[in-house]
Amino acid sequence: MKLSPREAARYFARPEPDRAGVLIYGPDAMRVALKRQEAIAKLLGPNAEEEMRLTRMGAGDLRGDKAALTDAIKARGFFPGPRVVFLEEANDGIADTVIAALGDWQPGDAQLVVTAKQLTPRSALRKGFESHPNAYAVAIYDDPPGRDEIEAMLAKAGLTGIDRAAMGALTDLAGQLDPGDFRQTVEKLSLYKLGDAAPLTPEDVAACAPRSTEAEADELIHVVAEGRMTAVGPLLQRLEAQGVTPVTLCIAATRHFRALHAAACDPAGPAQGIARLRPPVHFKARDRMVRQAQACGVARLEQALGLLIDTDLQLRSSQRAPQMALMERCLIRLARLVAPRS
């Protein structure tokens, strides 16, 4: 059965132990992994690893032994309690093996938890779970966590009495951070408020949010996209002193210019293109990115992406040129490329 986002939220809040299995798939490996961890933890409870009630397998484990998955599902352990077989990074190449194991499942067998990357509607693996009467298929999208998910994280961390302003700050933060970073921020908040009975405030959220390195890196990329060449050097020096690597900056710049290119190519215009981006752009950066996409245009953004790809290859190669100097040259060339024509 295919679960809608609302049904999926209910499933992850309380996974059903009598199901044959669940397929969790999506383009963001971190989001998929977090949902998988959540489901397995709630299905098995504590001490599952020590009691050998969790069996981990990879897709490669099944290529030489197609019966291994069925054997693992039907195996009986020494300890009582529910069992799970976790199959990681599955794909259509092993779909027949996985679907056959699901077909052999009987009450009392281990539940099968499978993770995969993005799967198309034609995927045999996805169809197998969607058509099975006692299994679920759950797509995990790049959308930031909603209010219900954030409230569940806060409750799990022991944080209560959240006022509206603090929840708004957390919602904004969830849209800016990767899911793993946001979860770590919530955990940091729980430690920060330990023993403090006062309600959580926006100031508390700001105190525990990831520090200025990310903000300064974002500002550097914005400066480059606006063609402000003279501001590149000082910002880059500060980031280098904080330990930010050239590869990290290259990845961030590539992500930013790809977003600008997608917005510039949108038939409805850059403003609609920015609004459609996933994950959503933080509202404080939205207007700035619209102006950048409008000023640069598709042709120059394509040139910029080509330059970034070439730089990324140089940074990851075995050449001995100073990496930060390569990155600085790339950023200055980008700023010159997209600078307004006089």
CATH number at residue 292: 1.20.272.10
User: What count of other Cβ atoms lies within 10 Å of the Cβ of residue 68?
Assistant: 17
pLDDT the model gives residue 214 = 66
Is the pLDDT reported for residue 91 higher than 90? yes
| Paired strand residues for 54 | 84
Whether residue 162 sits in one domain with residue 106: no
Whether residue 222 sits in one domain with residue 104: no
Domain that holds residue 49: 5-139
Residues 74, 76: Cα–Cα separation, whole Å: 6
Looking at the structure of the chain, the number of domains it has is 3
Is the pLDDT reported for residue 85 higher than 70? yes
218 pLDDT band, cuts 50/70/90, is confident
Cβ-based neighbours of 245, under 8 Å, separated by 6 or more: 323
Q: Percent of the chain, pLDDT > 90?
A: 48
Answer with the one of 121, 139, 157 that is the final residue of a domain. 139
Residue of 251, 230, 224 lying closest to 311 (CA atoms): 251
Whether residue 155 sits in one domain with residue 236: no
338 token code pair = 């997209």
Distances, alpha carbon 175 to alpha carbons 213, 222, 258, 334, in Å: 17, 18, 18, 27
Whether residue 125 sits in one domain with residue 20: yes
Is the pLDDT reported for residue 165 higher than 70? yes
294 pLDDT band, cuts 50/70/90, is very high
- The answer to which of 84-93, 141-150, 204-213, 241-250 has the lowest mean pLDDT is 204-213
Whether residue 220 sits in one domain with residue 183: no
Whether residue 196 sits in one domain with residue 117: no
* Sign, Cα dihedral of 275, 277, 279, 282: negative
Whether residue 129 sits in one domain with residue 15: yes
Task: Report the DSSP pairing between strands 54-58 and 135-139.
Answer: unpaired
Please, what is the Cα angle at 162 between 156 and 167, to 5 degrees? 95
* Residue 250 · residue 330 · CB < 8 Å: yes
Whether residue 186 sits in one domain with residue 67: no
pLDDT the model gives residue 341 = 67
Whether residue 217 sits in one domain with residue 202: no
| Paired strand residues for 139 | 25
27 pLDDT band, cuts 50/70/90, is confident
The label of the residue with tokens 């849209």 reads 175
Whether residue 297 sits in one domain with residue 178: no
Is the pLDDT reported for residue 342 higher than 70? no
Whether residue 152 sits in one domain with residue 55: no
CATH number at residue 123: 3.40.50.300
pLDDT the model gives residue 171 = 84
pLDDT the model gives residue 307 = 95
pLDDT the model gives residue 211 = 58
Answer with the one of 208, 234, 251 that is the final residue of a domain. 208
* Residue 315 · residue 246 · CB < 8 Å: yes
Answer with the one of 139, 161, 187 that is the final residue of a domain. 139
Burial 194-203 (b: 16+ CB within 10 A, else e): eeeeeebebe
Give the ranges where 50-201 is alpha helix by DSSP (H): 68-74, 95-103, 124-131, 147-156, 164-176, 179-192
What three-state secondary structure class fits 112? Answer: strand
User: What count of other Cβ atoms lies within 10 Å of the Cβ of residue 110?
Assistant: 23
- Containing H/E element for 46? none
Strands laid side by side in the 84-90 sheet: 54-58, 84-90, 111-116, 21-25, 135-139
- 54-76 confidence digits (pLDDT tens): 999 998 888 878 899 999 999 98
Whether residue 85 sits in one domain with residue 22: yes
pTM for this model (two decimals): 0.55
Residues 211, 282: Cα–Cα separation, whole Å: 17
- 114-152 confidence digits (pLDDT tens): 999 999 999 999 999 999 999 999 999 877 777 878 888
pLDDT the model gives residue 242 = 75
